[in-house]
């Protein structure tokens, strides 16, 4: 039950401004993902909400209360760190109980909560091990379990999966989604670099760029209606093709964007080119095509026969799916 509101929130380290006035309103129980290029201030913003960094300006409210100067532990947030940050000298059980002991809960209640969250994450058989005797995935679960057992109003994740291998990442991602479903009252804020994590987990995505919010919206919103050239190129994998020069000007824009799945191989297509490289992924094939009109573009074609490099072909963009941007990067109607 906690709405998280940021109003003109700023952060400077000494004379360096890192966050330049951010306004956000996150609903209670919402799963919000922060994405953005490295160094744009995602972690800093998350740490300001947690209380690990001071807020240089503006206001932070959680559940309607101003939190700017409230101690981290009193904000009702729990954080899962990228490096897990488990206490190496404590067993899993002690790790999970530590925060509850600090809150002076009764022994029975601590035991109950720890057991419950351990069962939820299926780590109950590991309770008496030290972190060094756990695998990376198990450590991450313990870190999440430690956060859950505090029953926070707001859950903060800073790239929690980036130290896991690909398969484990997918499993844990699905578990986090299930967790959010079960703890539907808990607001979750999740920082990631990963497109798929952002698209699949988020109720809403916040795209940050150089300390400012570029766009806030549902994953499909951002995908289909990017509010700037930056968002257009940042969301989606492989990236949207951005075409500048005469071709764009002919359409009355400084730049036009077209996603790989909205380009088709067609006999009568306007753009002629040669295949440079073909990536067959099984479910899809991506062709890298060098064209005279549009430069180098990526095209998604259905699996099947893969054209060899050097093959000449014509491409046709799906006109309804073209994104046109002005010189300032803003979309044109």
Partner 1 sequence: MARLKTYGFYLLVAVIVLQAVFPFYYAILTSLETGQAIFDINYLPAALDWSNYRSMLSSGVFGRQFLNSAVTASAVVVLSLVLATTAAYALARIRFRGRGLLLLTILSVSMFPQIAVLAGLFELIRAFGLFNSLWALVFSYMIFTLPFTVWVLTTFMRKLPVEIEEAAIMDGASALTIIWRVFLPLMWPAMVTTGLLAFIHAWNEFLFALTFLSTDTQRTVPVAIAMISGRSEFEIPWGNIMAASVVVTLPLVVLVLIFQRKIVSGLTAGAVKG
- List of residues contacting ligand ATP (CB under 6 A): 13, 16, 18, 36, 38-44, 193
- Choose the stretch contacting partner 1; rule: CB under 8 A; options: 74-82, 106-114, 118-126, 163-171: 74-82
Distance CA 138, CA 258 (A): 41
Closest residue by Cα to residue 22 from 46, 50, 52, 53: 46
Our finding on whether 81 is near partner 1 (CB under 8 A) is yes
- How many residues bind to partner 1 according to rule CB under 8 A? 25
Site string for Mg ion, 20-59 (x = CB under 5 A): -----------------------x----------------
Q: Which of 1, 8, 27, 73 binds partner 1 (CB under 8 A)?
A: 73
3-state helix, strand, coil in the chain (%, to 5): 30, 30, 35
**13 contacts which partner out of ligand ATP, Mg ion, partner 1, none, CB within 5 to 8 A by kind?**
ligand ATP
Our finding on whether 215 is near Mg ion (CB under 5 A) is no
Our finding on whether 286 is near partner 1 (CB under 8 A) is no
Peptide bond between residue 238 and the one before it cis (omega within 30 degrees of 0): yes
**83 contacts which partner out of ligand ATP, partner 1, Mg ion, none, CB within 5 to 8 A by kind?**
partner 1
- Choose the stretch contacting partner 1; rule: CB under 8 A; options: 84-92, 120-128, 160-168, 309-317: 84-92
- Binding to partner 1 (CB under 8 A) within 110-169 occurs at 146, 150
Nearest to Mg ion of 193, 314 (CB atom): 193
**39 contacts which partner out of Mg ion, ligand ATP, partner 1, none, CB within 5 to 8 A by kind?**
ligand ATP
For 87, phi and psi rounded to 5 degrees?
-80, 115
Q: What is the DSSP string of 59-126?
A: EEEETTEE-TTS-GGGTTEEEE-TT----TTS-HHHHHHHHHHHTT--HHHHHHHHHHHHHHTT-GGG
Nearest to ligand ATP of 96, 158 (CB atom): 158
Nearest to partner 1 of 12, 209 (CB atom): 12
Nearest to ligand ATP of 39, 72 (CB atom): 39
- Choose the stretch contacting partner 1; rule: CB under 8 A; options: 1-9, 95-103, 180-188, 239-247: 95-103
Distance CA 228, CA 41 (A): 19
Q: Is the dihedral of CA 66, 71, 77, 83 positive or negative?
A: positive
Q: How far is the CB of 9 from partner 1 (least distance, A)?
A: 19
- Binding to partner 1 (CB under 8 A) within 102-121 occurs at 102-103
Our finding on whether 251 is near partner 1 (CB under 8 A) is no
C-alpha 243, offset from chain centre: 26
The 8 Å CB, 24+ separation contacts for 82-90 are 82/158, 82/159, 82/160, 82/162, 82/163, 83/163, 84/131, 84/139, 84/140, 84/142, 84/143, 84/163, 85/143, 86/131, 86/139, 86/142, 86/143, 86/146, 87/131, 88/130, 88/131, 88/132, 89/130, 90/130
Instruction: Name the residues that contact Mg ion, by CB under 5 A.
Output: 43
Instruction: Name the residues that contact partner 1, by CB under 8 A.
Output: 50-52, 71-74, 77-79, 81-89, 98-99, 102-103, 146, 150
């Amino acid at each position: 039950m906690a709405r998280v509101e940021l109003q003109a929130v700023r952060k400077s380290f000494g004379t360096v401004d890192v966050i330049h006035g951010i306004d956000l309103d996150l609903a209670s129980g919402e799963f919000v993902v922060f994405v953005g290029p490295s160094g744009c201030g995602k972690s800093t913003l998350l740490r300001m909400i947690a209380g690990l960094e001071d807020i240089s300006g503006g206001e932070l409210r959680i559940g309607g209360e101003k939190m700017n100067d409230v101690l981290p532990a009193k904000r009702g947030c729990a954080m899962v760190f990228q490096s897990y940050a488990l206490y190496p000298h404590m067993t899993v059980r002690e790790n999970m109980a530590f925060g509850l002991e600090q809150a002076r809960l009764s022994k029975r209640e601590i035991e109950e909560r720890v057991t419950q969250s351990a069962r939820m994450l299926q780590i109950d058989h590991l309770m008496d091990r030290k972190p060094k005797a756990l695998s990376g995935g198990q450590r991450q679960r313990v870190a999440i379990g430690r956060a859950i057992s505090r029953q926070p109003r707001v859950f903060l994740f800073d790239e929690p999966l980036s130290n896991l291998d690909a398969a484990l990442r997918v499993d844990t991602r699905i578990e986090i989604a299930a967790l959010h479903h079960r703890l539907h009252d808990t607001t979750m804020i999740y920082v990631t670099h990963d497109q798929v994590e952002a698209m699949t987990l988020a109720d809403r995505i916040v795209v940050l760029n150089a300390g400012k919010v570029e766009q806030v919206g549902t994953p499909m919103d951002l995908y289909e209606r990017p509010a700037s050239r930056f968002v257009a190129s940042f969301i989606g994998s492989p990236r949207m093709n951005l075409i500048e020069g005469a071709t764009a000007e002919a359409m009355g824009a400084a730049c036009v964007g077209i996603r790989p799945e909205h380009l088709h191989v067609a006999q009568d297509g306007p753009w002629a080119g040669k295949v440079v490289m073909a990536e067959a992924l099984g479910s899809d094939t991506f062709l890298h095509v060098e064209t005279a009109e549009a430069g180098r573009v990526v095209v998604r074609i259905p699996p099947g026969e893969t054209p060899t490099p050097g093959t000449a072909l014509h491409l046709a963009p799906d006109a309804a799916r073209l994104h046109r941007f002005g010189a300032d990067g803003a979309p044109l109607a």
